[in-house]
Structures are given as C-alpha cells and as structure tokens.
Amino acid sequence: MKEKHISEPRINDRIRVPEVRLVGPNGEQVGIVRVEDALRLAAEADLDLVEVAPMAKPPVAKLMDFGKYKYEAAMKAREARKNQVNTVIKEIKLRPKIDPHDYGTKKGHVVRFLGGGDKVKVTIMFRGREQSRPELGFRLLQRLAEDVVELGTVESAPKQDGRNMVMVLAPTKKKAQAMAEQRRRRDEAAGPASAEPTEVVEAVEVEADTAEATDVEAPETAETEPTA
C-alpha cells in the first residue's frame, strides 16, 4: 500500500525517529535529544513537537503551538492571494480623424484603465487613403500620451503594424497598489459594517466606427460597461 502524501509536517507521536535536533520555542538551540525526551519537554511546556526539517540528519524539530502556527500560515496565504493580480492589457482602438467628443470619451477610458493599474494598448486604424498619412496617427498617439502623462508612461513607442499604428502605455502605479487603493476607498465609502468587497474587472465597449476597448488578455470573469 502506497504511503499517503502528507502536506503538513509531522508532529508529536507521528515523529518516528530515535532522536531529533531540538529547537526551543524562541529559536534557541537545545541540541540533539532522544525523541522521547523532546516529547516530554513539549508536554511540560504545553506545546507541540513539530518536525521542521525532516531531511536533516538527525531531523530538526521545534517546540511550538502548532494550532497558532497553522492559523498564522493560513492568514499569510490569504493575504498573498488577495494581493495576487493578473496582468491585463486593455486595448483602445481609434481612427486617425476622430472627432473631439469621441477623443475625450476614449481618453477617459485610458485614464480609468491606467488609474486601475492596467496597461493600455492604443491602436490607430487606418482605412483607404488614410494609410498614406501615418503622421496623423503618430500625432494622435503622441497627444494621448501627453494627456495622460500623470497616470502612465509610454512603454512601447508608436510603430506601424500593417494598416494600424500601435502604442502601449504602462501605468505609473502598480496593479496591486491600485487595487489596494480601490479597496480602501470602497471600505471608507461603505463604512465599517460592510462585508469584504468583491473585485470586478471591467471591459468597455465602444462604437465600432470610432473606437473599441477590449481586453487583450482577459480574466475569467468580466463585466461589460455601457458605452459612455
């Protein structure tokens, strides 16, 4: 019969070796002792004997409150998952001769994406004779970069990609920092009695004839926001 894989360290009577290198509850080195003596010391201190380095010769065991240790480890893992983020690149598509109102709307999307810690891929779509005027797209991308300079920087300079011109903007704030600030603002607005908020990743849809906003690398769950 195959031995089951044990994810947790062996503790107390599950430690089946003749002797261990014992570490005290405050990290002090006790030395090599018989496992029976180590178990007796653990019982006298109302602590557990936990094998922390099973591959050592002899194995290293420590006196500790194993229940407290597991709780603290679970809290650390939960905090790490909370701060874990997915790298998302939003995409905004513009026409080189976009009118001022549409430009303001699309710039607002870029501002929101960068403020949320996401990168933004801005694509200028050329049609027909517009392909002979690449400077129009370059000037538009340059203008947009200048308009959002406080929130993002140019990670990839404008370059021609077939009939399109592409530029990538990177947020000045890290994704984790932006998410933490959003959580704090929601907590302050909702008050102390509110439950932990649920994070929502947004995608924006815009009219196809002027611009589009999509996720290049979309998360599993996304909500669609009405067109501004």
CATH value at residue 189: 3.30.110.10
- What is the reported pLDDT for 195? 41
214 and 102 within one domain: yes
- Contact partners, residue 226, CB within 8 Å, separation at least 6: 205
pLDDT in tens, the chain (228 residues): 444 444 678 999 899 999 999 999 988 999 999 999 999 999 999 999 999 999 999 999 999 999 998 898 889 888 877 766 666 789 999 999 999 999 999 999 999 999 888 999 999 999 988 888 999 999 999 999 999 999 999 999 999 988 999 999 999 877 667 667 777 777 777 765 444 433 333 444 333 343 344 455 444 433 434 443
125 shares its domain with 161? yes
User: Which pLDDT score, from 0 to 100, does residue 126 have?
Assistant: 93
pTM listed for this prediction: 0.46
For 124, the domain range is 89-225
Q: Could you give the number of structural domains in the chain?
A: 2
Do 177 and 112 belong together in one domain? yes
Same domain, 39 and 133: no
Crossing angle of helices 100-115 and 134-147, rounded to 10°: 50
Residues 57, 162, single domain; the answer is no
CB-based contacts of 225-228 (< 8 A; 24+ apart in sequence): 228/105, 228/108, 228/109, 228/204
Give the whole-angstrom CA distance, residue 67 versus residue 71: 6
Do 116 and 217 belong to one domain? yes
Per-residue pLDDT, 59: 93
**22 and 127 inside one domain:** no
Residues 101 and 196 in one domain: yes
Residues 47 and 101 grouped into a single domain: no
Residues in the chain: 228
Any domain includes 4: no
* Structural domain contains residue 39: yes
Residues 21 and 112 in one domain: no
Query: Is 110 part of a structural domain of the chain?
Result: yes
Residue 163 lies in a domain: yes
Q: Is the peptide bond before 18 cis (omega within 30 degrees of 0)?
A: no
